[in-house]
Structure 1
Amino acid sequence: MTSVPTATPAKRLVRTAMPGPRSLALSGRKAAAVAHGVGSTMPVYAARAHGGVVEDVDGNVLIDLGSGIAVTTVGASSPRVVAAVQAQVAEFTHTCFMVTPYEGYVAVAERLNALTPGDHAKRSVLFNSGAEAVENAVKIARTYTGKQAVAVFDHAYHGRTSLTMAMTAKSMPYKHGFGPFAPEVYRAPLSYPYRDGGLSGAESAARAIDHLEKQVGADTLAALVVEPIQGEGGFIVPAPGFLSTLLDWCRSNAVVFIADEVQTGFARTGAMFASEHEGLVPDLIVTAKGIAGGLPLSAVTGRADMMDSVHPGGLGGTYGGNPLACAAALAVMDTIEADGLVARASDIGELVAGRLRRLQADDSRLGDIRGRGAMIAVELVDASSGAPDPGLAKAVAAFAHGEGVIVLTCGTHGNVLRFLPPLSISDALIEDAFDVLESAFASVTSTM
């Protein structure tokens, strides 16, 4: 007989050492069945999740400050999403939009065209993952411009496929041993206010443009791809004016400006899209992660003339815009609007940043607090030298994990703690999680 799961309490609850016995047993099965190249931040196996908590198979309830890497923005089992997917799965699970299309795909495209920045005519195309969408945005830019080169930035992360590995900056674990990589991908210096020596956004942009003009040439550059706030690279927020100056340069030189909003999109930063914070209107915008409440879906949305430059059949894929994922995406967008989650993201950001600043006041190892909305990070450093301290980040995260708080690290040096809670999380859960983090910093000595 199948047991009926009980409701997961909306509070942290540590019943066993973590991982507990059932998770340890599953870890043994994983080791025997799953390729060892697939790692896990926490070897704690989920049984159910909602709001801001994840319950594991041993009955531990963890506070979720990661949202499955910014995916479950509206919660891991949001009622509207659950209902929409249940209704759709009873109708059909797949036909392939390229064979017999369906309304859900069209409806998602219509919503994306309306929600993304700019009031120009737009088109959208749907895929499965962020990396797939990035690759297709590059395909569109190359077709439209007739040029081949692509520019990306220091610390960038754009995916794990062949082309997006070339676009991603960090070698281990994303690129190491997997070359050779796709050609015609060039890297420019990013605006990194904490480590730029006081450069303004305009000055940082001038540095990047000079680099591109000398080493690539605008006449060969099809696209510039940039995360408005870097994700895996460390939640780096460029100085004001950096992105807008680059956009102006792209427009003057027939270069397609592509905003990779895979991690920043769908209310995460206190705006529907992070580009809005600086009034940017990208030519193409790439979205994924938070778009469909945990179901695999991604998109490229952009100027109609650019999007329509690709020949029929040149874009698509067997599963792209799966009907279940489209139903979920529509429910996510409804939930963001109905529940006021854009404003909620800003409130969460103020609470998280406030707790981090309180910690920073007494601990100079917290070097830089940055981000927007519910996408906040702290860069951890050696107190005396300011050098990145990845050991400290690892130790603090491990302490939090043991106490039932899911925390993620990131950054080129692995020295950044990032906070991406579901926007449905309560203030009480956030406060409890940061009480744990406060204990972690008090317990962990310098690792340098």
Structure 2
Amino acid sequence: MAVRPMTAEDAGTAMRELTRFESPSMSATIENDIGLIVSHADGPHFWDRDGRRYLDLTAGSGVHALGHGDPGLLTAMSEQLHRFAHGGWQLGCPARAELSGRLAELLPWPDPVLLYCTTGSEAVEGALKVARAATGRRQILGFLGGYHGKTGGSLAVTANSSLRRDVTELPIAALSLPYPSARGYLTAEVVSSEAEFAWGKEILEHPDFGLDDVAALVVEPVQGAGGMLAASPGWLSQLREFTRKHGILLVLDEIYTGFGRTGSMFGFQHDGVVPDLVVLGKALGGGLPVSLVAGPRAVMKRIASLRQTSTFSANPVACAAGNYVVRRVVEDDLSRRAAETGDALAAALAALRIPGVEITLCGRGLMLGARVHTTGGADFVKAVVARMRELGVLVLRGGSDGEVVKLTPPLTLPADAATAAIEAFATAIRDELAR
């Protein structure tokens, strides 16, 4: 079907109505930080109101693993939409059953059980419910820099205190442990994984801490909002050993990292770790909202009937999309492609030499971050991101200090697009230094 191009008048009207009618919780960022109204998208690109093309290095915050508008994905969605669009979580359908089977083949337990949700935040909440039901304990542990959602329960393990200000009864997060600052596989300059966990372990094992009431420890293999920090080799294994020793469930939040983005199907596979629960979402739906909690039957059966449901859980169209996405990731070996493209991007970034700026890398696969060190701090990085947008490349900022440029393109990113991205990044830095 042909897409009618959005005119400047269309986009101007859309922006005015958006800022007039929508809450500033979202509209302020759209108007002031992004400033784009998208007309249409295809592959790794989208076009704005004036017909300008942009290289999308955000992939919708990691959602579009296959890029925008994949024909097979659109066909899968359309066919299911015409068969049966929605009936509520109480009604099954072949697409849902097929997706469950596909995922069961990929998950690390011999008898996995899935709990479908809609959003990532909801799935995190579901994981916390399962953990508390399975252990009979109440407390949850997270990590500094961790982001797990903005709903009431997920905010308890999201480290950023500003996200709780004025909107929740929770004054602080659950105890946030130090996340290793090492740059994952991108550098050999890391301390031992045992040393990285020593400080937190000392606190947790103190007799006054009350470790016997901790139900779960929730962690991201690579922190997204935290600035693309990747757990250094062996660190997740240290967490696995600790949690098993103390009867605590290890929950891997793979909402961002899952389905090939880090160079393996799941981020926990880099360390050969088998978690107790995994939370999945984002890329699974190919642009439609579907998420889930997965774990071994012995753990998942502990949550009682009706404790976690929502109207749109396992929506048939989203499940059809999920089947296509998972099949493509497996058959096209997109995990390997993400690893190779990520290595190439990292090498090109590491080779940049720009006087007045120090660039350090973090992340893994196609979940990369470039930390830009200058005297200008976060304001300089914000200006670099804006300049890249002027040059036709869309990226987002991250990190607790806002000084990381996040690179999370589609896993299908072409080599020439990767080259263009590095050139735009370098040009934007030089242009801002010259101002």
Task: Please indicate the TM-score interval, normalised by the length of the shorter structure.
Answer: over 0.9
Q: Aligned ranges for residues 24-423 of structure 1 at < 5 Å?
A: 24-38=12-26, 39-40=29-30, 41-98=33-90, 100-116=91-107, 118-172=108-162, 174-181=163-170, 185-193=174-182, 199-214=191-206, 216-359=209-352, 361-363=353-355, 365-382=357-374, 389-423=377-411
CA distance in 2, matches of 1:127, 1:89: 19
Q: How far 1:238 sits from its partner (Å)? A: 2.1
How many residue pairs get matched? 426
Cα offsets for 1:164-210 (capped at 9, x unmatched): 122111234x3332232288822111111269x96421111122222
Q: How far 1:320 sits from its partner (Å)? A: 0.5
**Distance 1:194-1:285 versus aligned 2 partners, 3 A rule:** closer
**Hey, which bits of structure 1, 4+ residues long, moved more than 6 A?**
none
**Distance 1:177-1:199 versus aligned 2 partners, 3 A rule:** farther
SS of corresponding position for 2:292: strand
Question: Does the CA-based 8 Å contact 1:150-1:184 persist in structure 2?
Answer: no
**Distance 1:54-1:332 versus aligned 2 partners, 3 A rule:** same
SS of corresponding position for 2:25: coil
Q: Which runs of 5+ in 1 are unaligned?
A: 9-15
Q: Which runs of 5+ in 2 are unaligned?
A: none
- RMSD (Å) for aligned C-alpha atoms: 2.3
CA distance in 2, matches of 1:24, 1:410: 28
CA distance in 1, matches of 2:112, 2:141: 23
CA distance in 2, matches of 1:262, 1:83: 25
CA distance in 1, matches of 2:217, 2:306: 25
SS of corresponding position for 2:125: helix
Question: Does the CA-based 8 Å contact 1:188-1:208 persist in structure 2?
Answer: yes
Question: Does the CA-based 8 Å contact 2:63-2:284 persist in structure 1?
Answer: yes
CA distance in 2, matches of 1:244, 1:374: 23
**Distance 1:70-1:184 versus aligned 2 partners, 3 A rule:** closer
Question: Does the CA-based 8 Å contact 2:385-2:395 persist in structure 1?
Answer: yes
Q: What one-letter code is carried by the residue in structure 2 that aligns with 1:240? A: P
SS of corresponding position for 1:277: helix
SS of corresponding position for 1:369: strand
Q: What one-letter code is carried by the residue in structure 2 that aligns with 1:148? A: R
**Distance 1:321-1:216 versus aligned 2 partners, 3 A rule:** farther
